[in-house]
Amino acid sequence: MTSRSSTCANRGTLPFLADDAVIEVPATISAAGPVPVPVAPMEPLYRGLVAHVSGYEELALDAALRGGRSRVAAALLAHPLIGQYDLAGRMADRLIAENAQFLSWA
């Protein structure tokens, strides 16, 4: 077994995120896959930012799986670098238009 940074399921490592959230933290790597090692608690600023991005990722995954402009716009609105209703709508329209050939629902 070796230890290094890895992408893995949260499984309680960051208690403010869902267990199935994907995180990148130090992990022990074995034949069974990565297992997160305990990490120090995050400061509130970073905890908030990480939770915010995780929420965006959940919404983006829902938009990718189920489609629909409103889902795409909602995911973009939730992103901490966008967060503006009109901007999220314009970006959703552009993303859908630019990728329509790859979207079964567009």
Could you read off the pLDDT tens digit of each residue along the chain, which spans 106 residues? 666 778 889 989 999 999 999 999 999 888 888 888 889 999 999 999 999 999 999 999 999 999 999 999 999 999 999 989 999 999 999 999 999 999 888 7
| Chain position carrying tokens 């970006």 | 91
Closest of 105, 7, 97, 9 to residue 62, by C-alpha: 105
